[in-house]
Amino acid sequence: MKLLRHGPAGAEKPAILDAEGKIRDLSGMLSDLGGEALSDASLDRLRQTDLSTLPVVDPQRIGACVVRPGKFICVGLNYADHAKETGKAPPEEPILFMKATNAVVGPNDDVEIPRGSLKTDWEVELGVVIGTRAKYVAESQALNHVAGYCVVNDVSERAFQSERGGQWTKGKSHDTFGPIGPWLVTRDEVADPQNLSLWLDVDGVRRQTGNTNTMIFGVAHLVSYISQFMTLEPGDIIATGTPPGVGMGIKPEPVFLRAGQVMTLGIEGLGEQKQTTVEARA
C-alpha cells in the first residue's frame, strides 16, 4: 500500500493511493498516519478494505507521510563512497544523530535557507518508518517492526554541522530540513530494501545517483542496532544515510544551495519529491 497525508499544513488527513493512481481519503477509518495506525493489525484492516468505496480526493498539497514522529534518527556516513568524498573513513559501527522533528515537512514544501547559511546541502535517503515497538530486537526479526519506507531529503547546513562546535544536530534541524514522502510504502511492497535506486537533481543537474545495496549497514542491522540504545516507537523515522554526490563533496570546489533553486529527488518504488529553496522565514 502507498499511504499519504493530504491537506493544509497542520490539518492533513490520511489517504491511500489506489491501483489506478487515485487518492482516496482514509479519514473515516483512521484519525491520522502515526502511532498504532501503523501497526500490522491496522495495516491489515486497510488491505481488506474495498478502496472503491472510499471518496476520491484531489489534494492541493501532500503533507509529510507520518504525523508528528516521536524521533527522527539519522545515520551518518553509511555509504562508503560518501564517506570517501567527505574525507572520512567508513565507520566501524553506525554513526547516529538526531534531527529535530520540527524539520519535518511535506515532500514538495519549500526548503528554507537558514539565516547566515553559506553551506546548505542536499542528501537523498531511504527513510524507514517503525510500525511496532522495538527494544533489543534481533537483526533476524528487525524488519517485522517496520511499517514501511519513504523518501527523505536530509537537508544539512554543513557549517552549522561541523564548524560551530558540538554535535551534528544543529546543522540538521532547521525548519523544513526534513521533507518526507510523498508516500509511506508498506514493507510488503518493498521486496528488498537493500536494492533500491536513489537519485537527486538540483536545477535539473544530476547530483546524486546510488543504490541502497552499497550501504555499509543495512536496514535490518540498523533497526536492531538502534533498538539496543533506545526504544523505537511506532511512527519513528530512521534516515539511513546518503550516497555520494552531496554538495560538500563536489570537486574542485563544493557547491551549496541558495534561495531560488529546485531540488528533485526520488527512490525506486517510493515516489519523488520536489522542493524550491527560499530564504528563511521568521
Q: Give the pLDDT of residue 136.
A: 98
* The three three-digit cell numbers of residue 206, written as one number: 544530476
Identify whether residues 47 and 144 lie together within a single domain: no
Cα distance between residue 264 and residue 273, in whole Å: 6
Pairing of strands 271-279, 111-113: parallel
Tens-digit pLDDT profile for residues 183-224: 999 999 999 999 999 999 999 999 999 999 999 999 999 999
Amino acid, res. 235: G
Residues 41 and 110 in one domain: no
124 plus 169 within the same structural domain? yes
Write down the H helix ranges in 53-132.
80-85
Here the CATH number for the domain that contains residue 125 is 3.90.850.10
What pLDDT is attached to residue 219? 98
Residue 65 in domain: no
Examine the domain organization and report whether 6 and 131 are in the same domain: no
Q: Three cell numbers at 10?
A: 497542520
Radius of gyration of the chain (CA): 18
Residues 43 and 76 in one domain: no
CA 35, CA 265: separation in Å to the nearest integer?
27
Same-domain status, 122 and 220? yes
First to last CA, the chain: 38
* In a shared domain, residues 231 and 112: yes
The answer to whether position 188 is within a domain reads yes
Q: Does residue 76 share a domain with residue 49?
A: no
Over 90: is that where the pLDDT of 79 sits? yes
- The partner residues of 2 in beta bridges, in order of sequence, read 17, 185
The residue to which cell 530540513 is assigned: 177
Tell me, yes or no, whether 50 and 96 share the same domain: no
Q: Is residue 176 part of a domain?
A: yes
Instruction: Provide the CA 102 distance to its chain's centre, in angstroms.
Output: 14
Q: What is the pLDDT of residues 229-249, one digit of tens each?
A: 999 999 999 999 999 999 999
Helix (H) or strand (E) holding 44: helix 40-47
Residue type, 86: T
Does residue 63 lie in a domain region? no
What whole-number distance in Å separates Cα of residue 173 and Cα of residue 150? 19
Residue 274: all three cell numbers together:
520536489
Parallel, antiparallel, or unpaired for β 56-57 and 104-105? Answer: unpaired
Tell me how many domains the chain contains: 2
96: domain range?
72-279
67 occurs within a structural domain: no
Give the C-alpha separation, 209 to 243, whole Å: 7
The residue type at 1: M
What is the tens place of the pLDDT at every residue in 107-156?
A: 999 999 999 999 999 999 999 999 999 999 999 999 999 999 999 999 99
One domain for residues 23 and 100: no
- For residues 7 and 179, what is the distance between their CA atoms, to the nearest angstrom? 15
Nearest Cα to Cα of residue 148 among 42, 10, 70: 42
Q: Is there a domain that residue 272 lies in?
A: yes
Question: Could you tell me the pTM of the whole model?
Answer: 0.96
Q: What is the DSSP letter of 136?
A: S
Residue 117 covered by a domain: yes
Q: Is residue 119 part of a domain?
A: yes
Mean pLDDT across 63-87 = 91
> Do 262 and 219 share a structural domain?
yes
What is the spatial distance between Cα 115 and Cα 112, in angstroms, rounded to a whole number? 9
| 16 shares its domain with 127 | no
